């Protein structure tokens, strides 16, 4: 933690050879780099002032645009505007956002560990970088870089303040790190259910990958691990699209892991025969000449108070009823039931309500037991 704080201090305060973000942002704000952009606005022809000849054919070709005299009623007028949303300013935004994000995460860790001296220094750095960002209001309309800095421009070479930002950005990311991209980490105590769900999904992903590798599958698509300037980040996108696709060449079996998969009523392919169903994790197994199969897992965070009046530490009836609904409602295009396993993951003892329906113990302090239970289910499904 002290090493990370030192790295962030250099990013904010700089060094003897170059200034940091706290000085760079106010300095650039005095004269930010701008470019002129040409845009078009369709205006009545009597108001048009700058019309490029190359745009006239479009005005004539639009039949609905012709007036009674046979001439275009509206013309595309060329307008020139200034924009600060350029590569160099995007570099500044990206540098600032990454430093601020890492300071906030470090602060959360230090606060839990009661490291008061380091926490005070972290707060001071965060306050300084926030104050300097307020002085650079022109960045409010600037996007972040979509990829790591990949070129030197004349602006970076000729303007020292921009070049210092590039050097600071590169220095910050020389030591690669792995991180979880999860907004709930900003306030972990208030977001425990969301964090538990993310943890449960990642446990399913890990177990599936371990089983699939041993069973001879190869990854054809994965949207979980990504790379950026700072190293590796892990993110589970709850967008209903496959996060992991595995294929086994020997028999053509395909496995898709889909977080927040939606099975709608009357949809094409896999669907619901009643109401819309949306399990947290769906694993769909397909093979030519065979009916598809689906395995469902739902992490369910529970407090001790949730177990009161429920017969002790047992899964809640409403959660098991939900898994019943998944199993019975989700069908394929031929109206065949395709869910061969449906279980919740919860911080209680493993309980089975049949060979294909249950509640699996998922306690963060005992990931080994959860992994073994998940691998057992998945090995049977993929074997």
Domain edge (last residue) among 175, 209, 227: 175
- Supply the pTM of this predicted model: 0.55
Residues 346 and 359: beta-carbon distance below 8 Å: yes
Using DSSP, state whether 76 is helix, strand or coil: strand
Structural tokens at position 79: 């307008």
Both 16 and 131 in a single domain?
A: yes
In a domain, 70, yes or no: yes
Residue 357 token pair: 């329906």
> Above 60 in pLDDT, residue 307?
no
Q: CA-to-CA distance for 344 and 361, rounded, in angstroms?
A: 9
Q: Does residue 137 sit in the same domain as residue 60?
A: no
User: Is there a domain that residue 182 lies in?
Assistant: no
Same domain, 236 and 344: yes
Mean pLDDT of 346-363: 92
Confidence of residue 186 (pLDDT cuts 50, 70, 90): low
Same-domain check for residues 203 and 305? yes
Q: Which position has the token pair 């750095």?
A: 125
Which of 21, 49, 83 terminates a domain? The answer is 83
Q: Which two tokens mark 281?
A: 């994790």
Final residue of a domain: which of 127, 143, 175?
A: 175
pLDDT digits (tens, 9 = 90+) for 225-258: 765 544 556 777 778 899 999 999 989 999 999 9
Q: Taking the CA of residue 380 as centre, how many other CA atoms within 13 Å lie in the half-sphere pointing to its CB?
A: 11
Q: Do 58 and 104 belong to one domain?
A: no
Which residue segment(s) compose the domain that 150 sits in?
A: 2-32+85-175
Q: Are 45 and 55 in contact (CB under 8 A)?
A: no
Residues 242 and 337 in one domain: yes
- Beta strands 225-228 and 231-234, pairing class: antiparallel
Tokens of 280: 């947290």
Q: What is the pLDDT of residue 68?
A: 78
* Residues 97-114: tens digit of each pLDDT: 989 988 998 888 788 776
Question: Does residue 183 lie within any of the structural domains?
Answer: no
Q: Are residues 278 and 214 in the same domain?
A: yes
- Structural domain total, the chain: 3
Q: Do 68 and 206 fall within a single domain?
A: no
Whether residue 207 is contained in a domain is answered as yes
Torsion sign, CA atoms 369, 370, 371, 374: positive
Q: Is 339 helix (H, G, I), strand (E, B) or coil?
A: strand
In a domain, 367, yes or no: yes
Are 210 and 347 within one domain? yes
pLDDT at res. 228: 53
Residue 368 maps to a domain:
yes
Residue 195 is predicted with a pLDDT of: 86
374, 360 contact by CB (below 8 A): yes
User: Per-residue pLDDT for 115 more than 80?
Assistant: no
Please tell me the distance from the alpha carbon of residue 381 to that of residue 294, in angstroms, as a whole number. 9
What is the C-alpha to C-alpha distance for residues 341 and 281, in angstroms, rounded to an integer?
Answer: 12
Share of the chain above pLDDT 90, in %: 50
What is the pLDDT, as a whole number, of residue 184?
A: 67
Q: Is residue 141 part of a domain?
A: yes
135-143: average pLDDT: 92
Q: What is the mean pLDDT of residues 157-171?
A: 92
Reply yes or no on whether the pLDDT at 311 is more than 50.
no
For residue 106, tell me if it sits in a domain.
yes
Question: Is the same domain home to 228 and 242?
Answer: yes
In this model, does residue 187 exceed pLDDT 80? no
- The reply to whether 149 and 238 lie within a common domain is no
- 271 shares its domain with 260: yes
């Amino acid at each position: 933690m002290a090493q990370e704080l030192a790295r962030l201090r250099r990013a904010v305060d700089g060094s003897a050879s170059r200034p940091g973000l706290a000085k760079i942002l106010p300095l650039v704000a005095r004269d930010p780099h701008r470019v002129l952009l040409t845009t078009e606005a369709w205006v009545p022809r009597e108001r048009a002032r700058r019309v490029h000849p190359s745009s006239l054919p479009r005005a004539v070709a639009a039949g609905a645009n012709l007036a009674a005299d046979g001439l275009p009623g509206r013309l595309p007028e060329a307008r020139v505007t200034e924009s600060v949303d350029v590569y160099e300013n995007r570099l500044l935004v990206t540098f600032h956002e990454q430093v601020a994000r890492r300071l906030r995460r470090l602060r959360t860790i230090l606060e839990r560990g009661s490291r008061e001296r380091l926490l005070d220094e972290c707060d001071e750095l965060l306050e300084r970088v926030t104050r300097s960002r307020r002085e650079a209001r022109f960045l409010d309309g600037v996007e972040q870089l979509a990829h790591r800095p990949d070129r030197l421009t004349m602006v970076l070479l000729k303007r020292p303040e921009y070049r210092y930002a590039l050097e600071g950005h590169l220095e910050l990311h020389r030591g690669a790190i792995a991180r979880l991209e999860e907004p709930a980490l900003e306030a972990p105590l208030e977001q425990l259910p969301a964090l538990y769900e993310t943890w449960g999904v990642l446990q399913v992903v890990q177990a599936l990958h371990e089983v699939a590798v041993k069973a001879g599958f190869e990854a054809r698509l994965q949207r979980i691990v990504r790379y950026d300037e700072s190293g590796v980040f892990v993110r589970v996108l709850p967008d209903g699209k496959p996060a992991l696709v595995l294929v086994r060449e020997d028999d053509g079996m395909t496995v898709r892991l889909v977080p927040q998969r939606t099975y709608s009523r009357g949809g094409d392919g896999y669907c619901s025969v009643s109401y819309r169903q949306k399990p947290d994790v769906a694993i769909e197994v397909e093979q030519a000449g065979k009916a598809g199969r689906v395995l469902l897992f739902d992490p369910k965070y529970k407090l001790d108070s949730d177990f009161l009046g429920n017969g002790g530490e047992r899964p809640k009836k409403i959660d098991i009823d939900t898994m019943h609904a998944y199993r019975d409602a989700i069908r394929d295009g031929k109206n065949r039931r395709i869910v061969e396993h449906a279980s919740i993951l919860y911080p209680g003892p493993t309980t089975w309500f049949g060979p294909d329906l249950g509640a699996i113990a998922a306690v963060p302090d005992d990931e080994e037991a959860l992994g073994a239970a998940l691998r057992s289910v998945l090995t049977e499904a993929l074997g």
